[in-house]
Chains A and B, each alone.
Chain A
């Protein structure tokens, strides 16, 4: 459904590109994780995929339609919930913020907001303000905002990078649960290999300048469990595989 072809982005014509010939596809209802070390051009990639900036060359198509601005079937969850949630709006206000501009009526906005908040377990916090909630709860609000938007594909930029480990595990399971219940495709960017292997059906290993170095199929049982899945020998193998793929010398690119 999401088709990325030869995507290149160069900020400084004299320097190295931030993204070079990035090509991959994400299928309908798929859960794909992208791992890359910091500074490998993930942010640039996401901004191009979401239509926030135009690539220097290459194309992004969503369901066959070229992306030249933020597509209406795509929702974005940002890493930094404290900056993507607006402190002057209540939780419900934040979740419902984009909806009127999709043409939803007031009642529809309220219904969609309530449903999305219930889906992330925050049904009773709609009247709170984001800054009254813990970090993990704030990121749930951001996820609820994405759900209420009813996208077909969800782009997530290291969404759980700034919460503690326990909260992170809870949020991962919440996300898997949402993915199973909703008709939704997820593209999840992270620098945490464990997280990528645990969540994904496929892991794309991204290297600098942003290009897909390797695609790793995650052949773990569909049902994931924080304890059982991570104890599987196969989980360890996949993790080592991804790690070595991230680190292996790449003849095409100079390390840096």
Chain B
């Protein structure tokens, strides 16, 4: 078992290491201005991001992203639950919501600039506005899909309405909410970076942009790598939380998320890392 694991990891690391070594070798000989060798990027990374720029740029980026994401989840779950209770209302609003989800969120950047200027609130607003739709739509679906027998059970045992909501409806909708939140997280990261590329005076995206303008190529790549690490860590953290919270769901369904593509044709249960928009995209009955 353990030996298997070790071989697994060793195998998984072979290719990335090879690629990095190959890149480094090529960059050293090619001496291309745009592609500095790893040692240079790594050196800049250590100088800039360990740890001088963490409080001045990384932290503001993270705070804006998390605030926008949290807002999107809160609003999305609250509104989605309300809508999910009324079949008529959610059917009536479906086209409008579908439109808003299909709208590419960066198109709203000018609106946020117009309304909020270039401050933090503009960025948080943009992130929340772009990320709220997948959460909202998935929550509506999750709440609408709560099993009627389970609801009957709770009613027949005189469980009061507020407890039916918090202990039955919301947990039952949680797998869908998580699927939506995962999409929302991806959107939040994108919008965090984009909003910092456009008008900002701090943040990781801003540093990358500044470095690019000043032709400080190693610094630009160092920041880009950091953004990649950020995306990876945020996703890994999300998956870890999801595994904990939805352990019951994963145990029943034998997979990591719900959605058409993973539910219908998947025959063997296996750990997978399906894509975020999937569940949100497959929501039509």
A78 within 8 A of B: yes
B152 touches A131 (CB 8 A): no
Q: Which of A46-72 touch B at CB < 8 Å? A: 47, 50-52, 70, 72
CA distance A131 to B167 in the complex (A): 18
What per-residue 1/0 map shows which CB atoms of B144-160 lie under 8 Å from chain A?
00010110111111111
A149 touches B157 (CB 8 A): yes
B252 within 8 A of A: yes
In angstroms, how far is the closest chain A Cβ from the Cβ of B121? 37
CB contacts (< 8 Å) of B248 on chain A: these are 87-88, 129, 131
A17 within 8 A of B: no
* A/B pair count, beta carbons within 8 Å: 64
Number of interface residues of B (CB under 8 A): 22
CB contacts (< 8 Å) of A175 on chain B: these are none
CA distance A84 to B149 in the complex (A): 6
| Chain A contact surface mostly | loop
CA distance A145 to B159 in the complex (A): 13
CA distance A78 to B155 in the complex (A): 13
CA distance A149 to B160 in the complex (A): 15
B251 touches A129 (CB 8 A): yes
The one of A51, A78, A88, A132 that contacts B153, using a Cβ cutoff of 8 Å: A78
B251 touches A86 (CB 8 A): no
What per-residue 1/0 map shows which CB atoms of A84-99 lie under 8 Å from chain B?
1011100000000110
| Chain B contact surface mostly | helix
A83 touches B147 (CB 8 A): yes
The one of A47, A72, A86, A129 that contacts B158, using a Cβ cutoff of 8 Å: A72
In angstroms, how far is the closest chain B Cβ from the Cβ of A1? 18
B158 touches A98 (CB 8 A): yes
A50 touches B156 (CB 8 A): yes
A75 within 8 A of B: yes
A102 touches B158 (CB 8 A): yes
B106 within 8 A of A: no
A80 within 8 A of B: yes
In angstroms, how far is the closest chain B Cβ from the Cβ of A82? 9
Interface residues of B (CB under 8 A from A): 147, 149-150, 152-160, 163, 167-168, 171-172, 174, 248-249, 251-252
Closest 6 CB pairs of A and B: A98-B157, A83-B149, A76-B156, A84-B153, A88-B171, A70-B156
